[in-house]
Structure 1
Amino acid sequence: MFVGSVKDIEEIKFVGPGVVNAFKKSLIGPGEGWEGWVMRLITLRDRGCSPRHAHPWPHINYILEGSGVLFIEGKDNTLEAGSIAYVPSNAEHQFASSSDQDLVFICIVPEEGDK
């Protein structure tokens, strides 16, 4: 069992080519007893974005606040609070904030996707 608070979890800045103002908190994963999966809180600040990329694991996403775009399979998809998205394995994708307000979302990936 694990009970905690988001405010007590360290925020880590993503770094790398194509990453802009992107941060994560790994909320629940193997360290908290959920073997094989990780639930993360992703924040894209001030028109931040992930790089356009693909990898061999899926994402499950739920948008908590803000607005933005998910580029996937050659198409831009509008995101807002309450949006949900499934990004399949090996699909080229990119998350981007569309304003100076934070785009905040839950992202669940297999454990290897949180390294």
Structure 2
Amino acid sequence: MFVSHRDEIEKKQIVSPTTHEVTKQVLVGPDQGWKDYVMRMFTLGKGGFAPKHTHPWQHILYIVEGKGTLFLDGKDYPLTAGSTAYVPAEALHQILNAGEEPFVFLCIVPEFGDK
């Protein structure tokens, strides 16, 4: 059994030339007893973005707060709190903060996709 709160879970700043203002938290995964999948929470600060990329696993997004944009296979989709999205394996995608406040979203991936 595992019970916690997002404020109690370690935050890791993602620093690379292809990201800006990205923080990652692993909320639930194998270390907490959920085998095969990982639920992460990402926070993108003002002007924040993840890299434009592809990978061989699918993932699910749920938007917690803020305004963002999902670039998916050549099209931009606006995202707000309560939005959901499914990103297929090998789809070119990117997530950006489109607002003034932090953009927070959950991302569920297979365990091997949590890099």
Shorter-chain TM band: over 0.9
Over 4 Å off, 4+ runs: none
Q: Percent same amino acid at aligned positions?
A: 50
Q: Which runs of 5 or more residues in structure 2 are unaligned?
A: none
8 Å Cα contact 1:41-1:104 kept in structure 2: yes
Query: How much does 1:27 deviate?
Result: 0.4
Q: Distance in 2 between matches of 1:91 and 1:46?
A: 25
CA distance in 2, matches of 1:114, 1:100: 28
1:24 equivalent in alignment to 2:24: yes
8 Å CA contact 1:47, 1:101 repeated in 2:
no
CA contact 1:47–1:97 (8 Å) conserved in 2? yes
Distance 2:109 2:97 in 1: 20
Q: Report if the CA contact (8 A) 1:71-1:94 is conserved.
A: yes
- One-letter identity of the residue aligned with 2:102: D
Using the size of structure 2 for normalisation, the TM-score is: 0.96
Q: What SS class does the counterpart of residue 90 from structure 1 fall into?
A: coil
Paired residues in the alignment total 115
> Is 2:7 aligned against 1:7?
yes
**Shift, 1:47, TM fit:** 1.5
TM-score normalised by L of structure 1:
0.96
